[in-house]
Amino acid sequence: MTEPQSQRIEAIDLDIRYGPKFVLRSAQMSISNAGVHLLIGRNGAGKSSLLRSMAGLQPIQGGSIVLNDRDVHSMSTSERARQMAFVASTPPRSSQLRVEEVLNLAASSSPSIPRVLAQFGELDWAQQRMDALSDGQAQRVMFARAVLQGAPWIFMDEPTAFLDVPSRKAFWKHAVEVAGQGMSIVLATHDYEHLAGSIALASVHLIEERGVHALNPAESPLRWTQRMEG
Amino acid sequence: MFQMARPMTRLHWLLGMGVFFVLVFSHLIWGEVDISLFAPLEAVHREILLHVRVPRVLAAVAGGAGLSLCGLVLQTWFGNPLAGPSVLGVSSGAGLGVALLVLLGLTTSWWATAAAAMAGSVLVLILVLFVAHRFRTATALLIFGLMLNYVVGAMITVLQAEAQQDALQQFVFWGMGTFGHGSMATSLGLCAAVVFAGLALSVMHRNLDTWTLGPLTAQSMGVNNSVLRWRIVVLAGLLTGGITAACGPVAFLGLATPHVVRLLTIERSHRVLIPLTALTGAILALAADWGVKGFWGMEQGWPLNAVLSLIGGPMVIWVLVSKTHRLHD
């Protein structure tokens, strides 16, 4: 785990578009320090695009993403991997690697693998194949893998979208633990009501056509939904 | 519990190497004349070994291992168990390169033909790799490859219609596919290419494993996806092109071998799959070549592609029936 330290990621005049259609235009956003940071918005508002751009996984069409004074999109892939980990909305469904092999791919130090696996799932998953796990189990393995990557930032794109309610609860419990250990989690999700009830959120941003707005993280999530409805 | 050593894999290796050496020796000593291992080597036997049997065994080993490695890496890249150099049209691309040189009578140099075949393979691979993201199912990619095969096949037919008689004869002879045409030099060149490609792929084994977790996840874990894709294009294209130039279009071997390996072992990491696929591919090619040479008093053997299609065709059907339901995410 990383020591809690001053970490900051910013979107400056960010343009994202697909063909002629702008998803975000001259968007500004700034997130700093450890904790859980939420990106919320309606379907198609650009949460996933913004998240992937911030993690350097999708090209941007204008402006820049700056992580601690460094341009994210001019870093090399391996340099970015040391700074930022990513959890996609669907777990891999065709990989036949064993869980321990997946964790080994990410781990900077293998002794921590059993500990992290026991924390996020169960130790006897180690020998199971990824495609034999349920979506909920596989997604928890992918989260454990992201933590083992040892980066101070973890970006998650609707990681619970395909999970049942008990799996979601388990997933958020781990997210809260990880945030408590000094990591910064940036999360695009529709599932914020449950999460807001179990942790003090570090920040909440609403992504809309008109731009990105910082909301009050201490407010009731019902108010955020009202803002979203316009 | 987190150790990676597996006693089963070691057993596979011992058995595999045993079968491999038995096949190699059987090909070296048996044939139209039998060569004794124990009597001193006669001059004529020496000639047969040096100019016929050793080149043929080397070509079969390199061809089998190389095409199987191509099949493995294409199946990994596409996440598609139906991918392979022949079904995706990569072998046809090589064939077109050979056809252009041979049928238009431009050159008879083997090395120029090999270069043309490699260029054809690489071009088809670029085409396939850069449109593949548009296909949502495994079967769509397969149909695209089949259509490419038809188009390239039609181009070759047009070239054949325009060709001179002796060039046509040479091309048809090549097109039947065999491990037995190469000289010692071409076979050794092929072996060197396959060893190089095998080592290059082994260096990439972690990236190939990571790739199975999905493109975005792989990229977030430090894999440079476009570099990985270009390496696969170059390695698979050069291998398929070189092997096709030397042995003719070889059907199904690249697609079938990785499935045989997955039936034999529970391992799925490329660290294990790459060498095991190369060994199994060499064994299958040597075994198929016994069908080609004919055995147990057969008058004559069967064409290589007939033997391989008899094994490979049912394999594709089996994969279609048993596995594709998992690909519709």
Can you tell me the mean pLDDT for A212-224? 90
Can you tell me the mean pLDDT for A16-23? 91
H/E stretch holding A205? strand A203-208
Residue with tokens 């191509």: B70
| pLDDT at residue B329 greater than cutoff 60 | no
Q: Which residue has the higher pLDDT, A105 or B38?
A: A105
Q: How confident is the model at residue B3 (pLDDT cuts 50, 70, 90)?
A: very low
The answer to whether A136 touches A143, Cβ cutoff 8 Å, is: no
Asked if A149 and B221 come within 8 Å (Cβ–Cβ), the reply is: yes
pLDDT single digits (tens) B50-76: 899 999 999 999 999 999 999 999 999
B259 closest CA partner among B275, B273, B239: B273
The answer to whether A142 touches A153, Cβ cutoff 8 Å, is: no
Quote the domain boundaries for residue A225.
8-229
- What pLDDT sits at residue B309? 87
Q: What DSSP assignment string belongs to B126-158? A: HHHHHHGGG--SHHHHHHHHHHHHHHHHHHHHH
Q: Does a structural domain hold residue A53?
A: yes
Q: Is A67 helix (H, G, I), strand (E, B) or coil?
A: strand
Q: Which residue has the higher pLDDT, B265 or A107?
A: B265
| pLDDT at residue A111 greater than cutoff 80 | no
Tokens of B166: 């002796």
- What pLDDT sits at residue B296? 60
Q: Does a structural domain hold residue A2?
A: no
- What pLDDT sits at residue B263? 85
| pLDDT at residue B93 greater than cutoff 70 | yes
Q: How confident is the model at residue A27 (pLDDT cuts 50, 70, 90)?
A: very high
Residue with tokens 């596409």: B78
Whether chain A has a CB inside 8 Å of the CB on B214: the answer is yes
Q: Which segment of B85-99, B131-145, B311-325 scores lowest on mean pLDDT? A: B311-325
H/E stretch holding B288? helix B270-293
Q: How confident is the model at residue A1 (pLDDT cuts 50, 70, 90)?
A: very low
- What pLDDT sits at residue A152? 93
- What pLDDT sits at residue A151? 93
Chain A residues within 8 A of B214 when measuring between CB atoms: 88, 90, 92
B244 closest CA partner among B104, B118, B108: B118
**Chain B residue at shortest CA distance from A155:** B220
| pLDDT at residue B105 greater than cutoff 60 | yes
- φ/ψ bin of A64: left (φ > 0), alpha (ψ from -120 to 50), beta (otherwise): beta
- What pLDDT sits at residue B217? 96
Half-sphere exposure of B190 (CA within 13 A, CB side): 32
| pLDDT at residue A121 greater than cutoff 50 | yes
Looking at every residue in chain B, the average pLDDT score rounds to 88
- What pLDDT sits at residue A39? 95
* Cα angle A132-A133-A135, degrees, rounded to a multiple of 5: 130
**Chain B residue at shortest CA distance from A117:** B2
- What pLDDT sits at residue B60? 96
Q: How confident is the model at residue B325 (pLDDT cuts 50, 70, 90)?
A: very low
Asked if A80 and B220 come within 8 Å (Cβ–Cβ), the reply is: yes
- What pLDDT sits at residue B297? 58
Q: How confident is the model at residue A73 (pLDDT cuts 50, 70, 90)?
A: very high
| pLDDT at residue B30 greater than cutoff 90 | no
B279 closest CA partner among B87, B8, B21, B52: B21
Enumerate the β-bridge partners of residue A12: A64
Whether chain A has a CB inside 8 Å of the CB on B1: the answer is yes
Whether chain A has a CB inside 8 Å of the CB on B141: the answer is no
| pLDDT at residue B89 greater than cutoff 50 | yes
Nearest by CB: A100 against B2, B220, B327: B2
Asked if A81 and B327 come within 8 Å (Cβ–Cβ), the reply is: no
Residue B81: CB atoms within 10 A of its CB come to 22
pLDDT single digits (tens) B117-160: 999 999 999 998 878 878 777 778 888 888 999 999 999 999 99
User: Which DSSP letter does residue A129 get?
Assistant: B
| pLDDT at residue B108 greater than cutoff 80 | no
Determine the residue type at B183: S
Asked if B216 and A110 come within 8 Å (Cβ–Cβ), the reply is: no
Determine the residue type at A33: N
Q: Does a structural domain hold residue A1?
A: no
| pLDDT at residue B300 greater than cutoff 80 | no
The CATH code of the domain that includes A175 is: 3.40.50.300
Q: Which segment of A173-187, B26-40, B223-237 scores lowest on mean pLDDT? A: B26-40
- What pLDDT sits at residue A40? 94
ipTM: 0.93
In percent, the amount of chain A with pLDDT more than 70 equals: 97
Chain B residues within 8 A of A127 when measuring between CB atoms: 1
Nearest by CB: B220 against A86, A113, A126: A86
Q: Does a structural domain hold residue A127?
A: yes
| pLDDT at residue A3 greater than cutoff 60 | no
- Long-range CB contact pairs, B202-205, < 8 A, 24+: B202/B271, B202/B274, B202/B275, B204/B228, B204/B231, B204/B270, B205/B269, B205/B270, B205/B271, B205/B274
Domains, chain B, ranges and CATH?
57-177+200-292+300-327 (1.10.3470.10)
Whether chain A has a CB inside 8 Å of the CB on B329: the answer is yes
Residue B294: CB atoms within 10 A of its CB come to 14
Q: State the sign of the Cα–Cα–Cα–Cα dihedral A13, A18, A19, A20.
A: negative
List the beta strands (DSSP E) in B152-202.
Answer: none
Asked if A126 and B210 come within 8 Å (Cβ–Cβ), the reply is: no
CA A110 to each of CA A141, B13, B213: distance values in angstroms, whole numbers, following the listed order: 15, 27, 19
Instruction: Count how many domains chain A has.
Output: 1
Q: Does a structural domain hold residue A3?
A: no
- What pLDDT sits at residue B323? 63
Give every CB contact of residue A66 below 8 A, 6+ residues apart in sequence.
A9, A10, A12, A72
Q: Does a structural domain hold residue A103?
A: yes
Chain A residues within 8 A of B1 when measuring between CB atoms: 100, 114, 123, 126-127
Nearest by CB: B220 against A85, A93, A104: A85
Can you tell me the mean pLDDT for B278-306? 84
Cβ contacts from A onto B, under 8 A: 82
- Cα B207 to Cα B306: distance, rounded to the nearest angstrom: 36
Looking at every residue in chain A, the average pLDDT score rounds to 90
**Chain B residue at shortest CA distance from A114:** B2
The answer to whether A157 touches A48, Cβ cutoff 8 Å, is: yes
- Cα A170 to Cα A168: distance, rounded to the nearest angstrom: 5
Give every CB contact of residue A206 below 8 A, 6+ residues apart in sequence.
A40, A41, A212, A213, A215, A224, A227, A228
- What pLDDT sits at residue B319? 76
| pLDDT at residue A143 greater than cutoff 90 | yes
The answer to whether A225 touches A196, Cβ cutoff 8 Å, is: no
Residues in chain A whose Cβ is within 8 Å of chain B: 52, 55, 57, 76-78, 80-82, 84-88, 90, 92-98, 100-102, 104-106, 110, 113-114, 123, 126-127, 129, 131, 142, 145, 149, 155
Whether chain A has a CB inside 8 Å of the CB on B326: the answer is yes
- What pLDDT sits at residue B86? 87
Enumerate the β-bridge partners of residue A10: A30, A66
Whether chain A has a CB inside 8 Å of the CB on B52: the answer is no
